[in-house]
Structure 1
Amino acid sequence: MGCRERAAKDDLLRVAVAGDACVPDPRGTLPGRGAYLHPAEACLDLAVRRRAFIRAFRARGPLGTEALTEYLSGQQSTSL
């Protein structure tokens, strides 16, 4: 979504909408439309700059990405 590179579904993080925010869905069980993103902060930054979440989820206004940022920073700290 952010960098627009292709990858296997297992290598990507599913993102869903809950209320007015984008939330990570690593198990892929949240209801509704989903979008896929590389689990990297650089890819998330690109998606936010390109307003890709608004287009992917057909949202009428801005969507919060704080939960995604927190999730990705937690993932990177555990992989070090």
Structure 2
Amino acid sequence: MNANGPRGPSPSPSPDAPPASACAPVRTCVGCRGTGERSVLLRAVLDRTDADDARLVVDVARSLPGRGAWVHPDLRCVDLAERRRAWSRALRGPSVIDAGAVRAHVLGEEADERSQRPVTTGTTHGAGRTARTVDKEAGQKPMGTR
């Protein structure tokens, strides 16, 4: 037996390494099965107010009661989770779950990201404004690409 223990000396942590408690919680996406920090993924919980219609609710504050499922805020991951029927397995709920609220939330985030980018293409309508800007000022919503 060694003086440092039965398996030899234990490795000492590097001085630059953060303490174990400073690491962010990691969750698994139910769509792509990739991992990510809790702050990056969306949490969805099952709304059980209506017994006949099970639907998902996005838990923005990440504090609603009940079992939660985590998904990347990407439409591909939401679609993949629906195709794989991962929502019902992760939430231990009924076999058919309406994920419309999660889809709408993700689409809303993507639209917000697009609206924050500067618009460089389009027809100008005086004073350097583009057609997209004029439509937005008029209160019109952009058409979907479905």
Fold shared per TM-score above 0.5? yes
Structure 2 residue matching 1:10: 3-state secondary structure = coil
**Percentage identity across paired residues of the two chains:** 36
The amino acid that maps onto 2:97 is L
Output the aligned Cα RMSD.
0.9
Deviation at 1:57, TM superposition (A): 1.1
> What TM-score results when the alignment is normalised by the length of structure 1?
0.94
Residues paired across the two proteins, number: 80
In structure 2, what is the Cα distance between the partners aligned to 1:60 and 1:43? 20
Deviation at 1:60, TM superposition (A): 2.6
For the pair 1:2 / 2:36, whether they are aligned, the reply is no
Deviating 4+ runs (over 3 angstroms): none
Partner of residue 56 from structure 1, selected from 84, 90, 105 = 90
Deviation at 1:29, TM superposition (A): 1.8
Structure 1 residue matching 2:36: 3-state secondary structure = coil
Structure 1 or 2: larger helix share?
1
In structure 2, what is the Cα distance between the partners aligned to 1:60 and 1:69? 19
Deviation at 1:23, TM superposition (A): 1.3
Partner of residue 76 from structure 1, selected from 91, 106, 110 = 110
Partner of residue 58 from structure 2, selected from 24, 39, 57 = 24
Deviation at 1:59, TM superposition (A): 1.3
Which structure: larger Rg? 2
Relative contact order (alpha carbons < 8 A, sep ≥ 6): 1 or 2 greater?
1
Q: Give unpaired runs (5+ residues) of structure 2.
A: 1-29, 49-53, 115-146
